[in-house]
Structure 1
Amino acid sequence: MAERGREPVEALGALGALDGARRRALRLAGLSAAADPGMDRFARLVTRLLRVPVALVSLIGEDRQVLPGMVGLPEPSAARRALPLSHSLCRYVVDSGEPLSISDARADERLRPGPDVRELGAVAYAGTPVTDGSGLVLGALCALDHTPRTWSEAELADLEDLAAACSAELRLRIVSAQRQAAQNVLETARAAAERAQGDAERLEHEAQAGLDHAELLLRASEELSQTSGLEDLRRRLRDLFVGVGKPSYVGLLVADDNELHRIPDPDVVHSVEHELLTLPADAAFPSARAMREGRTVFVPDREALVADYGPEAVAFFDRMGFTTVLCLPLWGSRGLLGVLVTCWTNPHEVSTPERAALTAASGYTAQAVERALYLDERISIARQLQAAMLTDLPRTDALEINALYQPAADEEMIGGDWYDAYHLPPAGSGDVAPLMITVGDITGHDMHAATVMGQIRSMLRQATLDHPPYSPAAALTALDVACSVLPIDVGGTLVHARLDPPGNTGGWALTWSNAGHPPPLLRTPDGVVTTLLEHDVLLHPGLGAPRRTETRRELPPGSTLLLYTDGLVERRGNDIDAAIAQLARLLARHGARPLPELLRRISNRMAEPPPGDDVVLLVLRIP
């Protein structure tokens, strides 16, 4: 039988450099100079089917051939499972891409001196290409015999069939490796996408946190600059800290000597404010430490609280459910004003930007606290002054008398509303003394108005007592003259009245003069309410000494007389006459009730919404 592949053998030159496609295919197949069970199986099949002593699965590399499948090769080549290219007949198969069979390599002048014949004893050779999925030749499946041999067509066909099966195995491995590589690439891409998404979410979170922090500072600068007292400040703090990292509780503690006093929320009572309203400066609490040391105190978790603070603090925070606490000192122009406490129920990592934003917000809070303390102090003094100016009502069994003073809704508006009541000298020994009553309103809502009110009240008393028989009109005329001469810038309204004790009719007599004031209301025993409309001009320095008149009216037993200031009936956008009519209906309905209850009902009904001006009510009842 003629030798197959004779012409390609004669035409072969040196093996060229391994191209990139072959390198990739060999790498993906995962075969090297190491025994591979699958490839060894193909070598064993060749020895059995072709009855040869040596069979190889040879893969050609750039500088050597590796033998992952091998049977019958002598040592040391068998141990190394690799041969130099000079020992490789398989390289001719790879270069030509065609099967090659040689009966006796010694008879070929080009092969006889080769190391294949000399060292390996490869006398007869048959080899068939092993390829990948694209037909690229990677190596050869070959059979070697130590004696000359003529290869039959059946033997060469069996070798080709085994080579095809070996190629299929290589292709399967390459495809699996490619699939695994693709899976690795996919997983790497997925991991990269997840990292990118995580980075994007983190950046979005940081951007949102930055916006929240900027919004916090903007709201703090706007909201806290408008506070009018500690209660108002505490109310605004409740909704100030929103957005990323919103605390579960924000507390305001104000320093007073060696204590911290918690300012409770006026609208939402928190359990903290039930249990702990005052803390001594030496208490083993984070807020007390912030006060003592004048610095920010941060407690990240319960372990830190246990390590650095007392058992009382630990038990308290456990009851409240707080885990993370940040205490910020509030510094004012005169020193430490208090501590702003922010608490979280879940562990919260306070980032550097968040701490900076909270510190800046605490600065605005400190300014608001300082302003509130100043206003509260000023208002307290003014309220005390005004309360001192209000008359203690005279005690008498002859009349029932009661009064109510209600400050304006805006506590800064210290008004000039007042009431007055005092006895006059009786006509004779043992007689019932007459009673002078006054309700007035000096224009203005400040300390000046309150001061002028005190002066006018005293001057009117003096004018009344200096002009027997104690005419209300005469006293008002004297007051007008005094105000036109003295440097008193006074404007306002008032009702000045005298109540004379019962005569033959059994009732009291009312004589009054009205200087531009809302009309008094009189309820008679039958429940009918009369509006006492008679009045003159108001008090004003530009009017000089106008003519004052007075009116007299008998008050039968059981009558109720109500005097009030305009803060009760005057509202912006409302009709004052309609409000006076409503007041008259309330007096008609409830006028028989005890006087304190009557005043309370009138105040509750007429003071909604809360008045923007002071309100004075004075009520008398004839027994």
Structure 2
Amino acid sequence: MARQDQDPRAGADTARRRVLRLAGLSAAPDPGMDRFARLVARLLHVPVALVSLAEDGRQILPGMLGLPEPWAGRRALPLSHALCRHVVATQRPLIVSDARADERLRTSPAVRELGVVSYGGMPLTDGDGLLLGALCAIGHEPRSWDPAELADLEDLAAACSAELRQRILSAQLRSAQKVLETARAAAERARGEAESLRREAQTGLDHAELLLKTSEELAQTSGLDDVRRRLHDLLAGVGKPSYAGLLVADRNELRRIPDPDDVSSVEREILTLPTDAAFPSARALREGRTVFVPDREALVAAYSPDAVGLFDRLGLTTVMCLPLWGSRALLGVLAIGWARRHEVGITERATLTAASGYIAQAVERAQYLDERISVARELQEAMLTDLPLANRVEVSALYQPAADDHMIGGDWYDAYHLPLASPGAEPALMVTVGDISGHDMHAATVMGQIRSMLRQATLDHPPYSPATVLAALDAACAVLPVEASGTLVHARLDPAPPAMPWTLTWSNAGHPPPLLRAPDGRVHVLEAHDVLLHQAFKDASRTEHRRELTPGSTLLLYTDGLVERRGHDIEAAITQLAGLLNRHGNDPLPELLRRISERMAQPPPEDDVVLLALRVP
């Protein structure tokens, strides 16, 4: 009787056991796999991340972050608790916004006992395409997964698969090395073959390390300069090029991104190229393919004298230009050069092509972020008020963005005249400095709403009491509702006849205290304040305070980015600020604000900073 065919699932299980043994992975912590779990948790902002691998009726977890006991100690889950088994079964990613509402998963013990609600799992494979498990991101709340987040998870899964393959290859090479060492003792020919195999294996390991390092390093980049800064070190392990350059497509030209750490670089001599220029990089962009120039003779024969001159000054003999393909279009060109003639083999070309894919993803992400940041910065700066031309009082303001370009804040200042109390009278001046919580486009948008609402509330409530206006703002935010949270100082400055004191009336919603410098140099901290602006405090009592400002007095308002630093005492910073105001308070106001910004903003602030100064005559 003929034997029936073996169950293919049993064959897959046997293959997985062999692969995991080669990779040295079991139900025990593994530093490399734990690193991938940490990267998933950090990049996707999830509380639980797993490297989950199928093994004999269970899922082992050599990489794990955030799983509760007893599973964390066991480093394994039964199949009933492992959503990874669906990835293994279907050989496709599993993306779930709310497992409790998913027909396949809502009865799973993972939902009930592990708190799995949102889930993203990307397949992990070996070099033969055998599906080993999944790289998983898990949340305890429903979540709408962003395509960019899923792309990051997919990239990390590709890097994790590459490391698994590298380990398997290393184990195989170790085994092969033992055989080759025995053969060396028998014959010189075997020794030479073993050395050749070792070199090839090392090259393969170098290439695998490049791809892993590229996917890992470029996932952390935040702009085109950052991508360019990392290029040379990333590519140094493959072919040891002496130059790696980045050019991005910009309408009808290529724009070179020079090394930001080398201000004297030859790259800066030609920062833009027309797309029809006789340069290898422009040709790679036009034709959408890799362009290889083996030596200077080929460069002279096919390209312009300008191209030859630039590559001579860069000291390059061999050049390869690879197109950078984005998700929708050709983004630019990666240019790689060698000082000596260099033969680029099939494996090296394939590795550099794969690396260019990671670089293209980083460029696309950087351009997207740069565009968003630019729009947000323009929006925020457009909403900053032009200071009014006061008849006698001096007014000056300074806005300094955060050191991190991604930190779009909600800081603002405002100053405007109130309607005249009587014909011929000098108008009172309203001033505001505030900070809406958050560091994103939403914060900047809410800031614009609050500023406009505050202006309207002021003009709708004569005689323009700051406390009354803030109470009206609280009520409006609660009714509309506007999800605003933050702090602000709202003040009215009433003029007086020459040589007489002006009157300052203010109300403080949880903001850092204004500083008042008297003409004799003494600085007073105006500490009185109420609760911050928040819809939860809609019934908060708003109080206001008055102070006479003798002629020559200087009032300084500021946001917390000036005095609040991680690991530093805010009270000490306010004392330092008061000392600067004491010493330089007689300077012209723009010079005073510049001095304060330079002295207080070291190191560069993590938050936006606003300064507003007024001096009464």
- Normalising by structure 1, we get a TM-score of 0.66
Amino acid in the other structure paired with 1:515? A
TM-superposed CA distance for 1:336, in Å, is 0.3
Amino acid in the other structure paired with 1:525? P
- Aligned runs of 1:284-323 on 2, under 5 Å? 284-323=278-317
Cα contact 1:405–1:617 (8 A) shared by 2: yes
Change (3 A) 1:577 1:617: same
In structure 2, what is the Cα distance between the partners aligned to 1:310 and 1:206?
38
Aligned twin of 1:400: 394
Aligned twin of 2:471: 477
In structure 1, what is the Cα distance between the partners aligned to 2:197 and 2:593?
63
- Aligned runs of 1:385-424 on 2, under 5 Å? 385-424=379-418
Change (3 A) 1:551 1:237: same
Change (3 A) 1:215 1:589: farther
Amino acid in the other structure paired with 2:343? E
Aligned twin of 1:534: 528
- Aligned runs of 1:382-531 on 2, under 5 Å? 382-503=376-497, 505-531=499-525
Aligned twin of 1:555: 549
Change (3 A) 1:343 1:592: farther
User: 1:335 aligned to 2:336?
Assistant: no
In structure 2, what is the Cα distance between the partners aligned to 1:196 and 1:281?
53
Cα contact 1:484–1:545 (8 A) shared by 2: no
Per-residue CA distance 1:196-251 (angstroms, 9 max, x = gap): 88776655544443332222111110111121221222222242222353222211
Gaps of 5+ in 2: 1-183
In structure 1, what is the Cα distance between the partners aligned to 2:467 and 2:454?
11
User: 1:582 aligned to 2:576?
Assistant: yes
TM-superposed CA distance for 1:258, in Å, is 1.5
Out of 236, 240, 247, the residue aligned to residue 234 of structure 2 is 240
TM-superposed CA distance for 1:291, in Å, is 0.3
Amino acid in the other structure paired with 2:427? A
Paired residue total: 432
User: 1:355 aligned to 2:346?
Assistant: no
Amino acid in the other structure paired with 1:258? N
User: 1:249 aligned to 2:238?
Assistant: no
Aligned twin of 2:367: 373
Cα contact 1:208–1:244 (8 A) shared by 2: no
Stretch deviating more after TM superposition (285-294 or 233-242):
233-242
- Aligned runs of 1:172-191 on 2, under 5 Å? none
Percent identity for Structure 1 against Structure 2: 75
**Secondary structure of 1:240 counterpart:** helix
Amino acid in the other structure paired with 2:245? G
Amino acid in the other structure paired with 1:605? R
Aligned twin of 1:223: 217
Stretch deviating more after TM superposition (323-332 or 450-459):
450-459
Per-residue CA distance 1:34-58 (angstroms, 9 max, x = gap): xxxxxxxxxxxxxxxxxxxxxxxxx
In structure 2, what is the Cα distance between the partners aligned to 1:197 and 1:395?
87
In structure 2, what is the Cα distance between the partners aligned to 1:600 and 1:360?
49
Change (3 A) 1:346 1:599: farther
Cα contact 1:473–1:549 (8 A) shared by 2: yes
Aligned twin of 2:60: none
- Normalising by structure 2, we get a TM-score of 0.67
Aligned twin of 1:266: 260
Per-residue CA distance 1:547-576 (angstroms, 9 max, x = gap): 211111122222221111111111222221
In structure 2, what is the Cα distance between the partners aligned to 1:446 and 1:310?
46
TM-superposed CA distance for 1:595, in Å, is 2.2
Aligned twin of 1:118: none
Aligned twin of 2:614: 620
Amino acid in the other structure paired with 1:287? S
In structure 1, what is the Cα distance between the partners aligned to 2:495 and 2:192?
90
**Secondary structure of 2:347 counterpart:** helix
Change (3 A) 1:199 1:346: farther
In structure 2, what is the Cα distance between the partners aligned to 1:343 and 1:313?
13
TM-superposed CA distance for 1:351, in Å, is 2.2
Per-residue CA distance 1:410-469 (angstroms, 9 max, x = gap): 222222111110011233333322110000111222222211111111111111111122
Amino acid in the other structure paired with 2:485? G
Gaps of 5+ in 1: 1-188
Aligned twin of 2:567: 573
Cα contact 2:499–2:551 (8 A) shared by 1: no
Cα contact 2:266–2:313 (8 A) shared by 1: no
Change (3 A) 1:202 1:399: farther
Change (3 A) 1:201 1:318: farther
Aligned twin of 1:165: none
Change (3 A) 1:477 1:306: same
Stretch deviating more after TM superposition (396-405 or 328-337):
396-405
Question: Which protein is bigger by CA-based radius of gyration?
Answer: 1
